[in-house]
Amino acid sequence: MQYQTELLTAKSALRQAALLTSAVQKKLLEKDVLEKEDRSPVTVADFGSQAIVNYVLANSFPTDKMIAEEGSEELRKPENEKLFLHLEEEVKKIVPLSGEAILRSIDHGRTDDPKALSRFWTLDPIDGTKGFLRGDHYAIALALIENGEVKAAALACPNMQAPNGETGLLCLASENQKTVFTSLFTDSPNVEATEALNKNFAEAVICESVESGHTSHSRAEKIRESLGVQAEPFRIDSQCKYASVALGLSDIYLRLPKSLEYKEKIWDHAAGYLIVKSAGGSVTDTLGRKVDFSTPPLLENDLGIVASRSVDHAKLIEAVKASA
């Protein structure tokens, strides 16, 4: 089946990266956090996860390009030497990389002209960094894009429950394969996404970001009231929201931008998009348009995101438009 090699490689990459991120989360130290220029926190786990994923992908697909969130620039600064030494210590436990090789792996596949790419991977090595720092949910999100279409996706949610009851969920999908769920840390059978039961909006659960800076909670409440949704919103960090919709833990995911100028980043949505679509769901922007992944690193032609799996998506979009 097409893209099976890519999915198997992505599965291996995310499993290995998750070993590092889980270990770091358990023993998070103050020295492991620095502030990037945009003031968002970044940790050893972000850099380590990206180094490991890129290392695994490069061994199987050495010419493929990568559009990822992190770069090695901060780690090369003298004031971050201690951070790098801890990063090196953690990475070496998982893959045979050290020193400059780690920095090169973090930057593997980078390009100055991402929009010219016909095939590339996109990675968020720690999606939901603030949740990670709180000890809560986060995701490692990897997707393959060809000619503006998401072809394969792997989404690791280390603190979500797998079908076998273990902690650590891995979601896998391709354009011609139904989404499957399995254990992130142990070998267990894949479980296919079940058919979604049709629900009326009163029964639906809306999933949204924990951080109010990422989405308009007040607008989401307006939508909830207009549709007659009874349940309180389910708030969870990262692309775990997409996983929750694909699993049926929630029915709707709203990512509502606070300004018309804000553009979503491609690595924040590509993997989750395909996980929900291949589970039988619908994913559009807030105007009901097909999500356009052809303008990396941003979703330049889209306004927010609306995902659903068990409700009338067209009616949902009408309510979203009316709330603007």
Distances, alpha carbon 86 to alpha carbons 32, 53, 321, in Å: 8, 18, 48
248 is written with which tokens? 């049926």
CA dist 75 and 209 (Å) reads 29
| Spatial CA neighbour of 193 closest among 310, 282, 283, 280 | 280
Which residue of the set 21, 129, 215, 286 is catalytic?
Answer: 129
120 is written with which tokens? 């590339």
CA dist 54 and 6 (Å) reads 13
Cβ-based neighbours of 8, under 8 Å, separated by 6 or more: none
CA dist 252 and 266 (Å) reads 20
The helix/strand/coil state of 156 is: strand
The string of DSSP codes covering 187-216 is: ----EEPPPPPP--GGG--EEE-SSTTSS-
Which residue of the set 9, 21, 43, 46 is catalytic?
Answer: 46
Q: Which helix (H) or strand (E) holds 82?
A: helix 81-92
As a whole number of Å, the CA-based R_g of the chain is: 19
46 catalytically annotated? yes
Query: Which residues belong to the active site?
Result: 46, 129
